[in-house]
Amino acid sequence: MQKIHATTILAILHNGSVAIGGDGQATMGNTVAKSNVKKIRKLHEGKVIAGFAGSTADAFTLLDRFEEKLNAYGGNMKRASIELAKDWRMDRYLRRLEAMLIAINKEEILVISGTGDVLEPDNQVAAIGSGAMYAQSAALALKKHAPHLTAEEMVRESLNIAADICIYTNHNLVIEKI
């Protein structure tokens, strides 16, 4: 799987609720270019939410294509993800895009990459970006040791932990839930 720097996106499905969040930092090399970028976007009339890591322009191109696929397949997130991944891998233009996506709906979380991967994460926790492993580790610990927390609370706390450690992740969080 490709390594994407400069953000952290985390999604958690827990006790029947699902939440996704991301930080707001955009970097150019080793400089913070903007601190309040919104990397989470509602799609398909708010029934699907996606977050991206990687090049912003590339990610918006992919989000637009993903929304087209969602509309073409009646909101079937898994089918739309698979079709996007196939196009992403095969299309000459899309193949050059440097980004990853996490998509959620009420029932599932999917990670979509340009290498053709559509992954359903173990433990109903998915993370992408430079701070992904910090956020994912925190989320797994919270699911195990603080099961009374909501998915939204777990996403917030995990992203804050990642922001404390990862220099490409900040504390300007955007969190959405379905």
Tokens 């917030």 correspond to what residue? Answer: 156
The residues facing 74 across adjacent strands are: none
Q: pLDDT tens digits, the chain, 178 residues: what are they? A: 444 457 899 999 999 999 999 999 988 878 888 899 999 999 999 999 999 998 877 888 889 999 999 999 999 999 999 999 998 888 777 777 778 999 999 999 999 987 889 999 999 999 999 999 999 999 999 999 999 999 999 999 999 999 999 999 999 999 999 9
Length of the chain counted residue by residue: 178
pTM strictly above 0.75? yes
Question: Residues 163, 8: contact at Cβ < 8 Å?
Answer: yes
pLDDT of residue 21: 98
What is the radius of gyration, based on Cα positions, of the chain? Answer: 15
Q: Residue 83 region, left (φ>0) first, then alpha (ψ -120 to 50), else beta? A: alpha
Instruction: Give the domains, in start order, of the chain with CATH numbers.
Output: 8-177 (3.60.20.10)
Active site residues: 7
| Alpha carbon distances (Å) from 13 to 52, 66, 95, 116, 153 | 18, 21, 30, 23, 12
Chain centroid, CA 8 distance in Å: 8
Q: Would you state the structure tokens that stand for residue 76, as one six-digit string?
A: 């079937």
Question: Residues 48, 77: contact at Cβ < 8 Å?
Answer: yes
Residue 146 phi, psi (nearest 5): -140, 55
Q: Where are the beta strands (DSSP E) in 35-107?
A: 40-43, 48-54, 99-104
pLDDT of residue 5: 53
The amino acid sitting at 154 is M
